[in-house]
Amino acid sequence: MSCGTIPGVAIIPVSWSGLRTDMLTQRLSNIVFALVIVAAAVWFAIEAQGFKAAGLLASSGLPSKFFPQLTLGFIILCAIVVIALYGTKKYAGSDVASTVYKNATEARQGLAVLAVAVASYIIWSKFGFIIMAVLMGPLCLVAMGIRSPKIYIVVLLLTGFVYVVFTQLLNIRLV
């Protein structure tokens, strides 16, 4: 398995420099993720205490906070079970020993394309649709390490096709 640092891996809950994909085991990541879920759920449940009804419109049997808090309680319960399962060695799940990513290349490609998606969203909001649409395809291909110029041309042609279908056939304003 390849080693080395992975740029962009900081999005994953556990992150410190020098992280190697073979250290990012399913067990560790799952426990950390479940802990994050528990913390978030507790925060949301406390937040729900502050819900104020806007008016006196028809009193319903249950207050607004009931359903969110009920589901959050259930989420916490499930997350604790997940932590317990990964914590004990007895867990029969086949993924305890395996890692989240098979190797550094896969991790880099997946996370880089995710970064392109986020960047595209920002570009669309700042510079408009056309610039975003033109950049999105090539950026994705760079992120995946594609070198063939043929693919770049095909993707740009498809981008144009999508634009024409939505603006001309479906009459949707893309700005």
Q: Which of residues 54-93 bind other proteins (CB under 8 A)?
A: 54-62, 64, 66-68, 71-72, 74-75, 78-79, 81-82, 85, 93
35 touching other proteins, by CB under 8 A? no
Is residue 4 within 8 A of residue 104, CB to CB? The reply is yes
Instruction: With CB under 8 A as the rule, give the number of residues binding other proteins.
Output: 77
149 touching other proteins, by CB under 8 A? no
User: Applying CB under 8 A, which of residues 14, 20, 22, 106 lies at the interface with other proteins?
Assistant: 106
Buried-exposed string 23-49: b where 16+ CB fall within 10 A, e elsewhere: ebbbbebbbbbbeebbeebeeebeebe
Report the candidate in 2, 26, 27, 5 with the shortest Cα–Cα distance to residue 16.
5
Residue with tokens 């009459």: 171
Is residue 37 within 8 A of residue 75, CB to CB? The reply is yes
110 touching other proteins, by CB under 8 A? yes
Nearer to other proteins, 131 or 174 (CB): 174
User: Applying CB under 8 A, which of residues 2, 15, 95, 164 lies at the interface with other proteins?
Assistant: 95
Contact range with other proteins by CB under 8 A, out of 1-9, 14-22, 159-167: 159-167
Give 65: exposed, middle or buried? Use CB within 10 Å, 0-12, 13-18, 19+: middle
> Residue 37: what residue type?
I
Q: Which of residues 112-131 bind other proteins (CB under 8 A)?
A: 112-114, 116-118, 120-121, 124-125
Contact range with other proteins by CB under 8 A, out of 1-9, 15-23, 107-115: 107-115
